Amino acid sequence: MPSETSNTRAVIDDLPFLQELVGVAQDMVTTLRHRAKTQVPERFVTAFALKAAQTARGIVILYQNGLALEAQSLVRILFEVSVSFDAFLRLLQKDPKAACHRLRDAMMLEKIKQQRASRFAGRELVPGAPGPEELAQKEREIASRYSASELKSLRKNGFSGLSIEDRARQAGCEEYYHIVFRNFSRNVHGTDFNELMLANDPSMLEDRRADLFESRDAVALDAAFIALWSVADQVNRGFKLGQERRLSRLVEARRRVSTNPRHDEA
């Protein structure tokens, strides 16, 4: 059952716009899938777009079912996808081949690390899965393409070599990093139960309680919309998908709603 905190003004006003934007993004992914048959960059772009669209869809579903804290965890993920995609596009513009190699190499390094940490458990369940020696050889091959410092950055921060904060700064989203990514991390790691206690005990914060939930949902949904819109807009412009009118109409409609007086002030 939806919780009593799920019907804030932010949810009522903003969630429909995020849901519609998800539809636009999913349509774009469908178009890209038909195009991404042979070009490696397009395949990676399609993967980023799909991740963003599906994550945003998950946010919508969770909010519709009153699971705001769980939705915040996905907002954090969507924000990371957005700034990582921005970083990938910047590398792609400089050198498409190198950008794709970095992304693929970073993914493989992480998989090798995971396999080694688990002592290659479960490998026997996948026919033809590479063994320890094959993975070690692949790791050496990847390492040969980078300097020691570059390799260290790839292992630590992925293909971009940048921390999440630096990716956010590069994308012009440093403020959202501090407000959204770091703040919502508590819901991912499960070590901060303040909001759960507030939801269960109306006496906490008394008359300020409603304002807290309103502010929380407004920030979360704003960040989610901007992150997904950023990915969708860049994909649309980069691949000329013809979705400019739908994207601009959504932004304008959302802006009009945000300037309306609150229900309790009307």
Q: What pLDDT does 126 receive?
A: 81
Q: What is the pLDDT of residues 121-135, one digit of tens each?
A: 877 778 888 888 999
Residue 99 located in a structural domain: no
Rounded CA gap, 241 and 246, in Å?
Answer: 11
Task: Give 85-124 as a DSSP string.
Answer: HHHHHHHHHH-HHHHHHHHHHHHHHHHHHHHHHTTTTTGG
Residue 37 located in a structural domain: yes
Rounded CA gap, 84 and 175, in Å?
Answer: 16
Residue 206 burial (CB < 10 Å; 0-12/13-18/19+)? exposed
Residue 216 located in a structural domain: yes
Q: Are 235 and 28 in contact (CB under 8 A)?
A: yes
| pTM for the predicted model, two decimal places | 0.86
Residue 163 burial (CB < 10 Å; 0-12/13-18/19+)? middle
Q: What pLDDT does 186 receive?
A: 67
Q: What pLDDT does 3 receive?
A: 47
Domain interval for residue 245: 4-94+172-265
Q: What is the pLDDT of residues 129-183, one digit of tens each?
A: 888 899 999 999 999 999 999 999 999 999 999 999 999 999 999 998 988 877 7
Residue 133 located in a structural domain: no
User: In the chain, how many domains are there?
Assistant: 1
Q: What pLDDT does 184 receive?
A: 74
Residue 31 located in a structural domain: yes
Residue 43 located in a structural domain: yes
Residues in the chain where the model's pLDDT stays below 50: 1-5, 261-266
Residue 42 located in a structural domain: yes
The type of residue at 193 is F
